[in-house]
Amino acid sequence: MTGGLACSMKAIVLAGGFATRLRPLTLTKPKPLLPILDKPLLDWILDSLTKSGCNDVVVSVKYLADVIKKYLNSNSYGMNLSFAEEVRPLGDAGPIRLINDLYGLSTTFLVVYGDIFSNIDFGEVIEFHRSHGGLATMVVTEVDDPSRYGAAIFNEEGKVVKFVEKPPKEKYVSNNVNAGVYVFEPEVLKYIPESPSKLARDVLPKLVSDGVLYAYKHEGVWMDIGLPSDYLKANFEAMRHYFPNGYVSNSASIDGAELIQPSYISANVKLGKMCKVGPYAVIGGNSVIGPAVRIKNSLLFNNVIVDEGVLISNSLVGERSIVGKWVRIESGSVIGDEVIIRDEVLIPRRTIILPYKEVDSNIDKEGDVLL
């Protein structure tokens, strides 16, 4: 990481979104608090800001705001942490104007989306911004499918010459997309409408038109946590990057189980005899896995109980859920918090089960949603 002097400025973390595409996971937990390998996404972001020397952070909140504030206030981050709570949804540009009204943005400031998992060096981004002299710098990264994001074309000096939000696949623009991190000069505030607004729609195109937006290209870890499948992949990407040989907590009990690495086994997990776990299995803390269970390419949140003979493949199982004997959870399924699945139930591909539901019989068709 670059030294702290590069980032001695105010940083904004946008953490107010409703995260509807991540339901049912976000019905009970705000997206920024979803864990990546035992650690909430927001903690990854704040730790990166701290390492870059950013010690004055404002978190913009709206959905489940009290949950986020309670969590952050109960932990120590070694920084000045403030909140800006939206009374009504303001988009991702509106909160910046609100924060200016509440706290003042009179010098260069950093903006980070609260749903991005990355190893972006914020200090390097700020140094790039200062050396190029624009009003705004946008971090970009390369993806295979730019149609979900804002695609940017920039010249050799890094100046953005074209920006298209969510271009259709048949109208290719660029594989370099908006990575959800910006450095802004205070003058950018005049580009933000007073009404609820979005950066990609209402601000960035005007910055491009005026020739004051630059692109810093990030080539490391980057994942947008937009869908349950993205969230699962982000955990696997974190595992590949930080624990390529897997991780097993010293307090976990895995005697008699077969563990295929990389996998991530959290504190106080108990794996039964003849279990086969991995590769790419994340087992949350205090979970109890019975004998002869097979788990692969899946994430189980904390305090999950899985009885014997269960198969879980490429799925997510919410906190404090209970899975009975001989249950089969097939690929792409998402189980909310505190769900009870009775013995011998089949959960077919792409099933969504909302929190607190009890399932006592087979689900008949793929892609069903149990309310």
For 289-315, the pLDDT digits (tens) are: 999 999 999 999 999 999 999 999 999
**72-130, pLDDT tens digit by residue?**
888 878 888 899 988 888 888 889 999 999 998 999 999 999 999 999 999 999 999 99
Domains 4-229 and 243-370 share a fold: no
The Cα–Cα gap between 346 and 302 comes to: 23
**169-200, pLDDT tens digit by residue?**
778 778 889 999 999 999 999 999 888 889 98
Among the listed residues 311, 278, 313, 279, the one whose alpha carbon sits nearest the alpha carbon of residue 293: 311
**196-212, pLDDT tens digit by residue?**
889 988 999 999 999 99
How sure is the predictor about 5, in pLDDT bands with cuts at 50, 70 and 90? Answer: very low
Sign of CA dihedral 141, 30, 26, 197: negative
Helices (H), 210-292: 228-242
Strand order in the sheet with 358-359: 270-271, 288-289, 305-306, 322-323, 340-341, 358-359
Residue 41 has, within 13 A of its CA and on its CB side, a CA count of 26
The dihedrals phi and psi of 364, each to the nearest 5 degrees, come to: -75, -35
Number of H helices, E strands in the chain: 7, 33
What are the residues whose beta carbons fall under 8 Å from the beta carbon of 11, sequence distance 6 or more?
49, 54, 56, 57, 58, 109, 110, 111, 112, 122
What are the residues whose beta carbons fall under 8 Å from the beta carbon of 323, sequence distance 6 or more?
304, 305, 306, 307, 310, 312, 317, 329, 341
The Cα–Cα gap between 134 and 151 comes to: 19
Catalytic entry in 39, 70, 162, 166: 166
pLDDT at 3: 46
CB 189 within 8 A of CB 105: yes
pLDDT at 8: 63
**251-275, pLDDT tens digit by residue?**
999 988 999 999 999 999 999 999 9
pLDDT at 55: 85
Q: How many other CB atoms are there within 10 angstroms of residue 84's CB atom?
A: 22
DSSP per-residue codes, 105-146: --S-EEEEETTEEE---HHHHHHHHHHHT-SEEEEEEE-S-G
Tokens representing 4 are 């702290």
Residues 34-55: what's their mean pLDDT? 91
Question: Domain boundaries in the chain?
Answer: 4-229, 243-370
| pLDDT above 50 (res 19) | yes
| pLDDT above 70 (res 7) | no
How sure is the predictor about 249, in pLDDT bands with cuts at 50, 70 and 90? Answer: very high
**Cross-strand bridge partners of residue 289:** 271, 306
The Cα–Cα gap between 20 and 299 comes to: 20
CB 194 within 8 A of CB 97: yes
The Cα–Cα gap between 137 and 95 comes to: 18
| pLDDT above 60 (res 62) | yes
| Mean pLDDT value across the chain | 91
Sign of CA dihedral 270, 243, 40, 340: negative
**318-366, pLDDT tens digit by residue?**
999 999 999 999 999 999 999 999 999 999 999 999 999 999 999 989 8
pLDDT at 165: 85
pLDDT at 51: 86
Of the candidate CATH numbers 3.90.79.10, 2.40.110.10, 3.40.50.300, 2.160.10.10, the domain formed by 243-370 belongs to 2.160.10.10
Q: How many other CB atoms are there within 10 angstroms of residue 10's CB atom?
A: 21
pLDDT at 4: 45
How sure is the predictor about 21, in pLDDT bands with cuts at 50, 70 and 90? Answer: confident
**CATH 3.40.50.720, domain 4-229, yes or no:** no
Active site residue 166: yes
Q: Which residue type, as a one-letter code, is found at position 113? A: Y
